[in-house]
Amino acid sequence: MSQQESNDSGFALPLPADGSGAQAFGEVAVAQGAPGVDTSSRDLLVGGGVLLVLLVAFFFAKNAYANALVSRRVSPNRANAAAWWLFVFLASLSTAALLSIVDASRFMTPLVLGPLAAMGLAGLVLALAMGRR
């Protein structure tokens, strides 16, 4: 057996037939417009479905948090307000995370993430402040 045959794993990438610019084996040809590629509607639909499921789970967490605050002798009105602010915090945090996963090049900008982060931070501060006796 020759040296080349002993190092051959049996797997080789085919040469590009369309002249896409890949130079050798193991190099990946990158599409010219990759950063500006539109997000497919399927990705947005899956992201929206995941966000909807998370919002339902956060709603149940909101109710549990309100009940826990009431059991600690916080007035029901303040407990309910604190729970809604917790919901706002969790919803904005998960929205920012999902937008950055769905299309990071378009949604990970200060114009998009700034208001979401500000709303999430305000929700966290208000949830903790309203949850005190």
Domain boundaries, the chain: 39-130
Average pLDDT (62-91) is 94
Q: pTM of the full predicted structure? A: 0.67
Neighbours of 84 (CB within 10 A): 17
In this predicted structure, the answer to whether residue 23 has a pLDDT above a threshold of 60 is no
Is the predicted pLDDT of residue 12 greater than 60, yes or no? yes
Scored b (16 or more CB within 10 A) or e, 62-76 reads beebbeebeeeebee
52 pLDDT higher than 90: yes
When pLDDT is averaged across residues 2-12 and rounded to a whole number, the result is 64
At residue 75, does pLDDT exceed 80?
yes
Mean pLDDT in the chain?
A: 82
Task: Give 69-74's long-range contacts (Cβ < 8 A, gap of 24+).
Answer: 69/131, 72/133, 73/133, 74/131, 74/132, 74/133
Q: Stretch 75-102: mean pLDDT, rounded?
A: 93
Question: Per this entry, what is the length of the chain?
Answer: 133
More confident residue, 125 or 10: 125
Confidence of residue 2 (pLDDT cuts 50, 70, 90): low
